[in-house]
Structure 1
């Protein structure tokens, strides 16, 4: 086995350690630093250094080693922390991340950045504590020695290495061979013996026990490793130097075959050995998860989708048998059980790809800190709904647009501290990131308590840019002007914004995910930018409806109720608009057969069924011919397989093998308005030609 087989594991775990390091640094109170936080930051750097050394990533190893030594001074109280020092630590973390990406791409890291950060950290050590970071490792980095053997271990370290017994527990032959080869790279293997249950390697190494354990944990679990320091041993395998009576205790604890049972340490057992016996309990929870490729998860999701389709087909077959009075209770019971199991399986599999918004929000304390620092503003970041879950594909694609919106709020929204104070606001501005599920959508908001948007200024800027605007435009339409290409209201160009690029890209990216951006703003009080994303998961609960000879699917999460319209409740408005009164609320009416040109449909509204649905925060009444029922459907991307169709979000395959289109509520309303304004049909029956072709094929 090649050590390169473990590269991906190292890269993923190092990414997590760097993220943890950044979060801890951002939370650190420089005036009263928490010792546990400092220790955690040090341990993160220490683990990365050990792994980088094992895999031969020398630049990353050296960078982390220098940072680790400086962090060690900080956690021991010898280095007084300041905000500018934390900024330097964060810069070092960024460079380590770039080095990690370079190694992942099989490239050499930026040598100039490496030399610059090393020089900066060295200078801090000289200026603040009068020490060089190239000095020998600090005591904290020494191996885990038992009290009785500590003096011998220090002598061994000074003579060129520490003598350790590395025990591998429940490791198979293949992994053990690889691990022994790695130990040979870390020092001299003096002896080895044992079996798969417990295999002990006596090692002389200049690396500490912590470093060795950090390296091994990239290959096996922590509960499979025990490392104990012993007195120096002879070069010949199995030969141990004579030890004084007080040294016999640690040697006995490290012996290959102790007489006492592993679960009951003898009185001679060292504190380190006893502590090691408690380790598996903690490690058991750590090893309760596995890393799985996203491609494998996607493959399982696709297979579950096909299973749901097959189950629907079987349901249809059983239903036909019942219509023919061919009863079979065992078949019906089996189908009911299959339906329940298929639904449980679908929910379990879909949850695998779900990631909490905390994964996204955790990146923004750094973004807010850095941006506010450049702008000389004081900002408090508030996050809400961190437990709200998103599909992994959405998380990866929403991060960049969200970052731009945050930076835009900080630059254009929140005022300078002195300005805020002068108008009676707190000097510290508030920026809130929130996420929640709303119906069938995921709603993400970026809210600030800043100056808000000036409608007149936006219109004036739009006219300067040659955009076709009017004073009668609604506020929503005026606020949407900021998404026009090249549009910017900044007085000057800064490192943060002002070039008129970015917001149009934000809108395009969100629209490419099937979502939209809405803006609510009040002058002097702040702005709320809302990102509304549809649930783009592979399976959804739907309501089957009939219009003419066509079957459509309404996302069940958008359906509120259904009713039979009466003539007295229908009102004609200007511009051919029709509304229906439902409990003192007037709702726009959307006749699906008119919008999508469906033939042979019921045209008399009083003979249709009005399905009350909600989309984009508004309610509509959709006229359909018939309600078929509720069912789970597998979502098939329409744009990938055909092209984008107005008013249609995607498609699915029904139990009888036919294709049904999944309706986009808000899209249908916009399409209906466009057709009425244009006075002609903008969609023709060609939109359904592929539908018929798909059915026949």
Structure 2
């Protein structure tokens, strides 16, 4: 009976991504002599390679074998751990991620990047460099050229193919009873073969070990068989060698400039952290249009459809389901011959049902909660690459990584956080000489923190850089006509200008940031999650970006309000306070806008009945109820008829069931079966300000006409 292995591929993909993340994080902290870390990296690579081989993903197996071999040499002490090798391995990890993502998405990938990194790994394993590759240049290089020319000038008979084979055995291969000459003879039986032995790795006589093999071979084979038949010759030694088989390629000269290759390959690792699909298109666009066109047409990225859940959460869920079954059984028994004497027991049963349902809801929600470390894990590598790119010394501090966030929220917050961290490195942290001149440490600091605040999660991105120049922001905003010359704005309103489309105070455009794009998208993405972003900064000392997010998108903590006969829900995360108005604190502007004096602020009042054109019980601002809400640094007062209860509501999308409505973010079904709309506070503020601006312009035009 055969087993369908395809059912296990999702598990392989999930474990492979975990292994790749472990490799990347460990490489960033790897130091000479750290045996435990290098063993962990090796085991992760070996697991990916083994899993790929099981499912027949040979391209992953071949590439990962090179990575594994380099790690094995470090693990056995045959190779020192150098920064250059760590950078090469980090780039190889990127390639492994590309290969696994291509399997997951059933898409193409940048073959040129994989091939270039494979050659770089093979050259590193051969200990080749621009200087020691030119040994005996007159004889050795001449032999390579002759072999290449011979292969290129040989006329191919119909049905024959030319294959280039690089066979680099491990030093211990002969100790396992394998003879490379037997392998070469078996290969010769497949067709016409030209062979060149590479003796670069033979040590001096004092270091020579007669039980080890120091020679590798480059081979040109003219044959009618395919790649699989060639690879079969080396089947018994595939774990003890590096084998590269390529079609229609001539042997590279041994004077290959490894340093140049390293720079070319590694330079791609500090590009914008984007989705894997767009990265593939960008990398291949200039090098291989054919591959790029395929990448553009590939299937969209498939999000992970599974969550790993702790056994304790599953046990809790099972216990709650058991309690629910008991309560249901009790209520069913009461219903058989119900009379008034059983009312008390019925009420007790319903109370128990309510409690069980609430606990079951909370337990199910906990299953979707994951540590925010899943989102934070990408930043050590990002900071590492950016600091090298920008020649800045930067330390990343992470705290609160065990704070839990809903999986759906975490999947969507990743890109905005990346943009904010990149801005902190580029715009925030000053150049080393500037920091020293200002009396700061040479090494800048970027901090990531996550914590609970009320019913939401707060993520802080903090830097100890130069801070935001408030006056420069104001000057730029006035220059662009975003605000009037006479405008008086508080700090929050000034910093909020940074989120205007195309707004930037950067003097120079870099490939990291400073193009004046992106911050508006960051804000829009955060708002789409029902969150908000707040900026705090002090010139010369640094900046803090605070992102406030709901714990989950499925359930909302809301305040029920009544306007006329309609019930609306205001998200609690936006509410500052609720109050009864006093007539002495009410002011009106010339354009008709009503302002309410709230301590130091003049808060615009938005009558909800006017905004949505519905009848209301009270249309007078004096002695009415005001719910003060805040979004985008702007406070407003929502005028309502009555405050009802606070409760959690299940959010239903209007887009899925009807269409998008301005000022409304969704809907929910209340306990009595009626539908209540959930207010979109930022959208309502925008609507109200538009109305106020129109009224102001109309008033001015009227005044001018009268005079």
TM-score range, shorter chain: 0.5 to 0.7
Local SS of the residue matching 1:79:
coil
Local SS of the residue matching 1:382:
strand
**Aligned mate of 1:136, from 146, 157, 170:** 170
Corresponding residue for residue 527 of structure 1: 543
What is the distance in 2 between the residues matched to 1:556 and 1:326?
Answer: 42
Corresponding residue for residue 18 of structure 1: 20
Deviation at 1:52, TM superposition (A): 1.5
Deviation at 1:22, TM superposition (A): 0.3
**Mapped contact 2:383–2:396 kept (Cα < 8 A):** yes
What is the distance in 2 between the residues matched to 1:494 and 1:343?
Answer: 52
What is the distance in 1 between the residues matched to 2:125 and 2:178?
Answer: 28
**Mapped contact 2:416–2:525 kept (Cα < 8 A):** yes
**Mapped contact 2:575–2:627 kept (Cα < 8 A):** yes
Corresponding residue for residue 376 of structure 2: 361
Corresponding residue for residue 76 of structure 1: 76
Deviation at 1:384, TM superposition (A): 2.7
What is the distance in 2 between the residues matched to 1:594 and 1:486?
Answer: 33
Corresponding residue for residue 263 of structure 1: none
Q: Would you say 1:579 and 2:613 are equivalent positions? A: no
**Mapped contact 1:443–1:532 kept (Cα < 8 A):** yes
Q: Would you say 1:372 and 2:387 are equivalent positions? A: yes
Q: Would you say 1:538 and 2:562 are equivalent positions? A: no
Corresponding residue for residue 41 of structure 1: 41
Corresponding residue for residue 329 of structure 1: 344
Q: 1:404 to 1:600 in 2, by over 3 A?
A: closer
Deviates more, 1:79-88 or 1:100-109: 100-109
Q: 1:91 to 1:667 in 2, by over 3 A?
A: same
TM-score, normalising length: structure 1 = 0.65
Corresponding residue for residue 119 of structure 1: 119
Deviation at 1:666, TM superposition (A): 5.2
What is the distance in 2 between the residues matched to 1:561 and 1:541?
Answer: 15
Q: 1:681 to 1:495 in 2, by over 3 A?
A: closer
What is the distance in 2 between the residues matched to 1:562 and 1:506?
Answer: 30
Q: 1:495 to 1:352 in 2, by over 3 A?
A: same
**Aligned mate of 2:431, from 395, 399, 416:** 416
Corresponding residue for residue 387 of structure 1: 402
Cα deviation 1:176-223 (Å, max 9, x = unaligned): xxxxxxxxxxxxxxxxxxxxxxxxxxxx987889xxxxxxxxxxxxxx
Matched positions, count:
524
Deviation at 1:522, TM superposition (A): 2.6
Cα deviation 1:58-78 (Å, max 9, x = unaligned): 221121111111111112222
Cα deviation 1:476-507 (Å, max 9, x = unaligned): 44434444444444444433234333333333
Deviation at 1:138, TM superposition (A): 6.1
What is the distance in 2 between the residues matched to 1:432 and 1:389?
Answer: 18
Deviates more, 1:637-646 or 1:651-660: 637-646
What is the distance in 1 between the residues matched to 2:645 and 2:496?
Answer: 39
**Aligned mate of 2:452, from 422, 434, 437:** 437
Q: 1:434 to 1:483 in 2, by over 3 A?
A: same
Structure 2 unaligned residues grouped into runs of 5+: 134-165, 183-234, 241-303, 310-316, 332-339, 699-707
**Aligned mate of 1:470, from 450, 469, 485:** 485
Corresponding residue for residue 633 of structure 1: 649
**Mapped contact 1:24–1:37 kept (Cα < 8 A):** yes
Cα deviation 1:334-358 (Å, max 9, x = unaligned): 2212211111111111222222211
Cα deviation 1:413-455 (Å, max 9, x = unaligned): 2111111001111111111122233334433232211122234
What is the distance in 1 between the residues matched to 2:622 and 2:478?
Answer: 47
What is the distance in 2 between the residues matched to 1:391 and 1:374?
Answer: 34
Corresponding residue for residue 88 of structure 2: 88
Deviation at 1:90, TM superposition (A): 0.1
Q: 1:656 to 1:494 in 2, by over 3 A?
A: same
What is the distance in 2 between the residues matched to 1:440 and 1:670?
Answer: 25
Corresponding residue for residue 27 of structure 1: 29
Local SS of the residue matching 1:127:
coil
Q: 1:81 to 1:444 in 2, by over 3 A?
A: same
What is the distance in 2 between the residues matched to 1:676 and 1:155?
Answer: 87
What is the distance in 2 between the residues matched to 1:401 and 1:565?
Answer: 39
What is the distance in 2 between the residues matched to 1:565 and 1:491?
Answer: 47
Corresponding residue for residue 655 of structure 1: 671
**Aligned mate of 1:548, from 548, 561, 564:** 564
Cα deviation 1:504-563 (Å, max 9, x = unaligned): 333333343344443333322222233333455222343433222111223456667766
Deviation at 1:7, TM superposition (A): 2.0
**Aligned mate of 1:9, from 8, 11, 21:** 11
Cα deviation 1:314-341 (Å, max 9, x = unaligned): x9xxxxxxxxx99822322222122111
**Mapped contact 1:157–1:206 kept (Cα < 8 A):** no
What is the distance in 1 between the residues matched to 2:407 and 2:123?
Answer: 42
Cα deviation 1:575-632 (Å, max 9, x = unaligned): 65443668x9987765444444441322456664555666668877654333443443
TM-score, normalising length: structure 2 = 0.64
What is the distance in 2 between the residues matched to 1:56 and 1:416?
Answer: 49
Q: 1:119 to 1:518 in 2, by over 3 A?
A: same
